[in-house]
Amino acid sequence: MSVEDLPRKESNILKEHDGAVLGVRFNSDGNYILSCGKDRTIRLWNPHRGIHIKTYKSHGREVRDVHVTPDNSKLCSCGGDRQVFYWDVATGRVIRKFRGHDGEVNAVKFNEYSSVVVSAGYDQSLRAWDCRSHSTEPIQIIDTFADSVMSVCLTKTEIIGGSVDGTVRTFDIRIGRETSDSLGQPVNCISMSNDGNCILAGCLDSTLRLLDRSTGELLQEYKGHTNKSYKLDCCLTNNDAYVTGGSEDGYIYFWDLVDASVVSRFRAHTSVVTSVSYHPKENCMVTASVDGTIRVWKT
Amino acid sequence: MDSDEDDFVFYGTPIQREEDLTSRKKKAIAESSAQLRTLPSWKQEVRDEEGRRRFHGAFTGGYSAGYYNTDLEGRFLGTSSQFDTFGFTAAEVARKEAEKEQKQRPSIIPGPVPDEIVLPATESVGVKLLLKMGWTRGRSIKDSHADALYDARRQARRAFLAFSSDDPKLKITGSESIKDDSENFPEPPVNEDIQSSKSTPVYVLNPKQDLYGLGFDPYKYAPEFRGKSAPGFGIGALEELDAEDEDVYATGYEFEDTYVQEIEEPAKLSLEFQKKKDQKDQGNLPGFRIASNSDYQMERFEAPLIPKDFVPHHAFSGPLEINHKNHGIPPPDVPPPEDSNLKILIEGVANLVARCGKLYEDLSREKNQSNPLFNFLLGGTGHEYYARKLWEAQQKCIDQPKQQLDGKAPPGVKRLTAESRGQILGERPLERSSHDPSPSDASTDVQLQFNLTDTFINSAASFSEIPDSEKPFKDDHAKQERFEQFLKEKYKGGLRSTSSSLAGDMSEAARARERIDFEAAAEAIEKGKHGKGNKLLFPSSMDFIPGGVMQFTSGAAEAKKDLQTEDLMGKKMYPKREEFQWRPSSLLCKRFDLIDPYMGKPPPAPRIRSKIDTLIFTSDSVKSNKVEKFIDVKQDISHVQETANQDISKSIAENEAEVDVEVENIERPVDLYKAIFSDDSDDEGEELNVKKMENQEKKAEVANTALSRLIAGDFLESLGKELGLEVPPDMPYPAQISRNAVLQKEIINENARSGNLMAENNSEMSQNHGLPNDQDIAHESGPSKVDAIYGNMLESGSTKTKGTSISNSKLSRSNRENGDDDRKLKSPVTSHRDYSSSLSSEEERKRKRSRHHRHRRHDAGSDSSSDDERDHHSSRSKGRKKGSSHEKSSGSRKHSKHHKHRRHESPSRSSHRSMEKDDTHPRKEKRRR
């Protein structure tokens, strides 16, 4: 994939959110996106046709993160109301509310089988919630973090959390081991490479850092954007060739994965770009911003 | 629902279906009369007038309570029918309607009115009629009054006009004029009508339901609730809107507005808030105006008159005062005496006196009375000169502290004085004090340069006057000087010496390095000045490592670290990888479809906070065991009287062995303790050995006793000193023997029993471990010798220790006899075992962490915690026993180890003898329990 193939043309703009959009995520096949925002709603869109499909309302405060199961049947979301909501996509009803976090919940993810929701909270903990049983108690609380946990990633066997305490902690369920990689800077967002070997960590010193997961080595640093006070997302393109992320000045940056050069940057929003999500297969990207819009980018 | 039914009823109340009611009523009456006749009163049932059984009181306000009440006709029954809870009668419908209506009606009593007090009533006929006539609620009925008044006035005016003008036109155009009038009328009739016709004032319509006074602002102490959007769903009422709820994304976009619009009555709300805000701004209470002239006037007083001759200077009445009593009148300037020696002497004395006070003068005068050189003190030659010099010196002394108070001339800093400047300018130096403020080591041209810059630049208050505490190179005076020069050059401009002669002897590299240091220090100082407003920034020691990396020892200055160096360090440090053990819950593993790595392992221990914690814990249990022992010992002492110690030692050995068997089982991660206690298990076999091998032990025992006693005694003494305990004199061996002998009798008896018990315990344990008993027995033959050593060890420690073991066996016997509460009674025994096992384990621990020993000792010595705690510990240690000694290897190896270390251990036990007394009482009580 050459630089020309990077999604830099705005193909759609989705404006329904009242206020900042805090997160936007492709579903597993890339046909739909879910967004969440300050207006306490979660919205389901078809980004390719620019259609707003559904709104999910139940959160009492802003919704900070949302994730959908691979089979598109369930949603999980979290936010400022300290709860994790487990939704039925079709009916738009809340199936379960998981209470237990002592603070805002920053991020949620389903595991591979959609049986567990793992949430990352301001209360310095990761909590795993069982979707199969009727219990609303967490089945696991990981509280080794020293500060707010901002982001969480799941693999088939691991739970990975990034925290403001500057660590990316990997919890391997198979061997019962916690691996802590301290970056020395507050970690805002972690994102797995598609081959699963690396972790991209967005730090609050306006730097994205690429870590080798097996050794904990710092492979590369990506700079140029501004990220000092907001929780901004970053991710890799679907072929792991480029790193992309938003900036607090409304720009989107593309870096070359290997040599860390900025291959492209353009102004995408009028305000902070809070979230980016890359299509799992195509050259398509969605970005969300504090300006209340979601924009779909294609080549 | 109601509306459907009521569709056809326009006026009046619907007719109730009488047939049903009456038939039921009749039946009821008949029944009740029958009941009354036939049944005794306590068997009669309470029924209402319709023959239904009623609940007592609860639903009808008690009207139908009690059984005779129902027979009453009239009011009570009538009301009860109205309040029928279950049936849905026409009356019920009417009541509901009335209730609904009541809500709309103004009520005098605020809040919901209890139904019992105000009976619901439909509208009276009069009201209905009035309504039909066009009257609306809230209006007074005689609202024609105002109109009437107005009409009367109008009539009068018209008449008046007609009378005065006498103009026929007016009469014709009267209607117009009336119109005009009405326009000019001060109170427009419409207004008047509204105001006067309202019979019900607003405060009745909307009664005040709270207790707040005028001008109450509910948000006064909770401004965060003012004008905020309603809390979201699922947010508790007590959750405040904190800082984290602030809209961090609010930059440039006003989302608050959109929120407000989402709320049902946004416009009204915002209006109200606006109004409130306005009122706030004006400082007004609603309904109040700011008075144009206020009654209250601040009483002001004139400033006191200052006497013209007042000098704003505080005179201290101290030694200084005495010193300077004559400073007002300067003595005449006198030429110095010819003798230069005398001159110097006078000057010196004057300086000293000025500095040290009058006392010094007196002292020296007294001392040197006979010395002709000091005649000037007594008014001899040179006295005038002395007086002058003294005055001068005193002046100087006064000035100096002043300067220091100003903070402008701290002692160590070069400061341009008149003298030095004069010197620089080539003036003939005047008489100078011995204290030369200008540094002598600095070469003159540099000095000149300094002083020039000082002279040229007025803003003297900067780096030249760094307070002493701000000198980063205080320790190295020369360096500090160079630093100051550097600062001057850097910030003051002026002449610049390209080659700093102060650092003349330094190499180029060293100078460069120093320069970097200086840069950094200067920057830090500058920052500090900006940030903290000349506060002391560098409280104590601030060292500059020659490599250019600054190190601040004070926490406050830490933030001032050079960012670049920090970056460098950061790169070196990060990323940093650490690994920890983490235990996923089994359910999580299940959900992730993974095998639980901890499957089958005991549940995780509560997190070990630190190594020290665990150590303390073990030592705690050890201590409790000890205490127990001592008490037992004491009790047993009374029995003690004589003879052969062999058997005793035997029994001791046995007990000891037994003790060793009980391996510590710990509720801590298994691996750790596996590592520590890996070879514990061999003991299991030994305890049975002991019995058989008793005889063999004896010999070795005697031999070892002497040796170990010596060692132990030494150790005990030193330990006692360390712990500050009174060290009892080492017991003579014979005495021990005699005691032991006494014990022996009992022990012999008990040996069998305790042996039994042991065996039992053992089998228990072996069951626990899944080891057959036979195996243990098979083991027995080996380590007899070692056991003997045990016995010796114990003996050597002190008599009391011996007693302990005995008492232990005794205890165990009694336990057995009692047998009822196995767990509780066993605990002492177990704990004893535990103790020794912990002892044995201690050697290993000792090898690993030398700290442990100290800890334990310390704990045991100082801590005398409650019995309950001990109990707890011992019972816990009992629990440990189970399943502990898994992997056991050869007994002999272990024992040799024991031998090595035991010597150190046993005295530590005995050293607690002195504690025993204190602990006895609670112990006894406990046992009684």
Residue-wise pLDDT for B808-849, tens only, equals 444 444 444 444 444 443 444 444 444 444 444 445 444 555
Of residues B332, B320, B333, the one with CA closest to residue B431: B333
Here the CATH number for the domain that contains residue B396 is: 1.10.10.790
Q: Which residue has the tokens 């830090």?
A: B524
pLDDT at residue number A288: 92
pLDDT at residue number B203: 66
Containing domain of residue A164, as a range?
Answer: 3-298
Give the CA distances from residue B608 to residues B358, B667, B804, B878, in Å, rounded to whole numbers and listed in that order: 70, 10, 33, 21
Q: Based on the domain organization, do B78 and B172 belong to the same domain? A: no
Q: Which residue has the tokens 């340069």?
A: B449
Residue to test with chain B: of A104, A173, A228, most B Cβ within 10 A:
A173
Give the CA distances from residue B181 to residues B20, B169, B170, in Å, rounded to whole numbers and listed in that order: 68, 16, 13
| Closest chain A residue to B229, measured at CA | A61
How many C-beta atoms surround the C-beta of residue B413 within 10 A? 17
Q: Greater confidence, B524 or B764?
A: B524
Out of A40, A140, A272, name the one closest to residue B584 (CB). Answer: A140
Q: How far apart are CA B93 and CA B13, in angstroms?
A: 10
> Buried b / exposed e across A76-99, counting CB within 10 Å, b at 16+?
bbbbbbbbbbbbebeeeebebbbe
pLDDT at residue number B776: 41
DSSP for B746-797, please give it.
HHHHHHHHHHHHHHHHHHHHHHHHT--HHHHHHHTTTTHHHHHHHHHHHHHH
Q: Is residue B285 part of a domain?
A: no
Q: In this structure, what token pair is assigned to residue B897?
A: 């180890």
Q: Based on the domain organization, do B826 and B695 belong to the same domain? A: yes
Q: How far apart are CA B507 and CA A146, in angstroms?
A: 49
A-chain CB neighbours of B597 within 8 Å are 173-176
Q: Greater confidence, B38 or B220?
A: B220
Containing domain of residue B103, as a range?
Answer: 2-132
Nearest CA-CA distance, residue A140 and chain B, Å: 6
Q: Which of A176-185, B110-119, B198-207 has the lowest mean pLDDT?
A: B110-119
Mean predicted lDDT score pLDDT of chain B:
56
User: What pLDDT digit, counting tens, does each position of B569-605 carry?
Assistant: 555 677 788 888 888 888 888 888 888 888 777 665 5
Q: Is residue B762 part of a domain?
A: yes
Most confident of A51-65, B125-139, B226-240: A51-65
- Helix boundaries (H) for chain A: none
B-chain CB neighbours of A177 within 8 Å are 579-582
B-chain CB neighbours of A61 within 8 Å are 232, 235, 245
Q: Based on the domain organization, do B128 and B148 belong to the same domain? A: no
Query: B314 by DSSP, 3-state: which?
Result: coil
User: What pLDDT digit, counting tens, does each position of B470-481 carry?
Assistant: 556 666 677 777
Q: Which of B222-236, B667-681, B814-828 has the lowest mean pLDDT?
A: B814-828
Q: Is residue B584 part of a domain?
A: no
- Overall average pLDDT of the B643-668 stretch: 46
How many C-beta atoms surround the C-beta of residue A56 within 10 A? 24
Query: A159 by DSSP, 3-state: which?
Result: strand
Q: How far apart are CA A160 and CA A126, in angstroms?
A: 9
Q: In this structure, what token pair is assigned to residue B817?
A: 């006899």
Burial class (CB in 10 A: 0-12, 13-18, 19+), B465: middle
| pLDDT band per the 50, 70, 90 thresholds, residue A34 | very high
Q: Based on the domain organization, do B333 and B276 belong to the same domain? A: no
Torsion angle (degrees, nearest 10) of CA B22, B26, B29, B31: -130
Find out whether B457 and B492 touch, Cβ atoms under 8 Å.
Answer: yes
Q: Above 70 in pLDDT, residue B200?
A: no
Q: Which of A109-113, B129-133, B157-161 has the lowest mean pLDDT?
A: B157-161
Nearest CA-CA distance, residue B245 and chain A, Å: 8
Q: What angle do CA A152, A155, A158 make, to 5 degrees?
A: 80
- CB atoms B597 and A181 under 8 Å: no
Q: In this structure, what token pair is assigned to residue B270?
A: 């915002």
| pLDDT band per the 50, 70, 90 thresholds, residue B624 | very low
Residue A222: which H helix or E strand, with range? strand A218-223
Q: Above 70 in pLDDT, residue B646?
A: no
Q: Is residue B548 part of a domain?
A: yes
Q: How far apart are CA B490 and CA B483, in angstroms?
A: 10
- Overall average pLDDT of the B739-756 stretch: 48
| pLDDT band per the 50, 70, 90 thresholds, residue B289 | confident
Phi-psi region of A187 (alpha: psi -120 to 50; beta: other; left: phi over 0): beta
User: What pLDDT digit, counting tens, does each position of B508-561 carry?
Assistant: 667 777 777 777 777 776 666 554 444 443 443 344 444 443 444 344 334 444
Q: Based on the domain organization, do B99 and B197 belong to the same domain? A: no
- CB atoms A173 and B591 under 8 Å: no
- Overall average pLDDT of the B265-289 stretch: 55
Share of chain B above pLDDT 90, in %: 0
Find out whether A279 and A285 touch, Cβ atoms under 8 Å.
Answer: yes
pLDDT at residue number A136: 84
- Overall average pLDDT of the B776-785 stretch: 42
| AA identity, residue B562 | D
Q: CB-side exposure of A285: number of CA atoms within 13 Å?
A: 31
Q: Which of A186-190, B600-604, B689-693 has the lowest mean pLDDT?
A: B689-693
| pLDDT band per the 50, 70, 90 thresholds, residue A170 | very high
Q: How far apart are CA B657 and CA B894, in angstroms?
A: 12
Q: Based on the domain organization, do B390 and B430 belong to the same domain? A: no
Q: Above 80 in pLDDT, residue A143?
A: yes
ipTM of this predicted structure: 0.87
pLDDT at residue number B237: 56
Q: How far apart are CA A208 and CA A244, in angstroms?
A: 9
Q: Greater confidence, B169 or B707?
A: B707
Q: In this structure, what token pair is assigned to residue B153?
A: 């006035």
Asked if the C-beta of B236 comes within 8 angstroms of chain A's C-beta atoms, the answer is no
Whether the link from the prior residue into B575 is cis, omega within 30° of 0, is yes
Q: Above 50 in pLDDT, residue B36?
A: yes
Q: Greater confidence, A247 or B246?
A: A247
A-chain CB neighbours of B580 within 8 Å are 144, 177-180
| pLDDT band per the 50, 70, 90 thresholds, residue A24 | very high
Q: How far apart are CA B49 and CA B78, in angstroms?
A: 9
Q: Greater confidence, B555 or B20?
A: B20
Q: Above 70 in pLDDT, residue B757?
A: no
Q: Based on the domain organization, do B332 and B430 belong to the same domain? A: no
Residue B824: which H helix or E strand, with range? helix B822-848
Q: Above 50 in pLDDT, residue B494?
A: no
> Buried b / exposed e across A8-46, counting CB within 10 Å, b at 16+?
beebbebebbbbbbbbbbbbeebebbbbbbbbbbbbbbe
Burial class (CB in 10 A: 0-12, 13-18, 19+), A293: buried
- From B385, B406, B427, the end of a domain falls on B406
Q: Above 60 in pLDDT, residue B877?
A: no
- CB atoms B575 and A218 under 8 Å: yes
Nearest CA-CA distance, residue B676 and chain A, Å: 23
Q: Based on the domain organization, do B97 and B160 belong to the same domain? A: no
What sign for the dihedral angle of Cα B173, B179, B183, B186? Answer: positive
- Helix boundaries (H) for B220-265: 255-262
Q: In this structure, what token pair is assigned to residue A193?
A: 């490479």
Here the CATH number for the domain that contains residue A19 is: 2.130.10.10
Q: pTM to 2 decimals?
A: 0.37
Asked if the C-beta of B245 comes within 8 angstroms of chain A's C-beta atoms, the answer is yes
Q: What angle do CA B128, B131, B133 make, to 5 degrees?
A: 115
Q: What are phi and psi of A182, to 5 degrees?
A: -90, 125
Q: Above 90 in pLDDT, residue B113?
A: no
Q: How far apart are CA B469 and CA A77, in angstroms?
A: 57
Asked if the C-beta of B134 comes within 8 angstroms of chain A's C-beta atoms, the answer is no
- Overall average pLDDT of the A186-209 stretch: 90
Q: Based on the domain organization, do B71 and B157 belong to the same domain? A: no
| Closest chain A residue to B231, measured at CA | A60
User: What pLDDT digit, counting tens, does each position of B390-423 carry?
Assistant: 888 777 766 665 544 444 444 444 566 676 777 6
| Closest chain A residue to B596, measured at CA | A174
pLDDT at residue number B221: 76
| pLDDT band per the 50, 70, 90 thresholds, residue B56 | low
pLDDT at residue number A273: 92
- CB atoms A81 and B234 under 8 Å: yes
Of residues B433, B322, B342, B333, the one with CA closest to residue B388: B333
Q: Which residue has the tokens 């665990």?
A: B614
| Closest chain B residue to A122, measured at CA | B244
Number of domains making up chain A = 1
Q: In what order do the strands lie in the sheet with A242-246?
A: A234-236, A242-246, A251-256, A262-267
Q: How far apart are CA B902 and CA B789, in angstroms?
A: 10
Q: Greater confidence, B490 or B288?
A: B288
- CB atoms A173 and B588 under 8 Å: yes
Q: Based on the domain organization, do B626 and B547 belong to the same domain? A: no
Q: Based on the domain organization, do B776 and B862 belong to the same domain? A: yes
Give the N- to C-terminal CA distance of chain A in Å, as an integer: 11
Q: Above 50 in pLDDT, residue B760?
A: no
Q: Above 90 in pLDDT, residue A66?
A: yes
B-chain CB neighbours of A58 within 8 Å are 233
pLDDT at residue number B324: 45
Burial class (CB in 10 A: 0-12, 13-18, 19+), B97: middle
| AA identity, residue B552 | F
Number of domains making up chain B = 6
Of residues A6, A9, A4, the one with CA closest to residue A242: A6
pLDDT at residue number A86: 92
Q: Based on the domain organization, do B886 and B855 belong to the same domain? A: yes
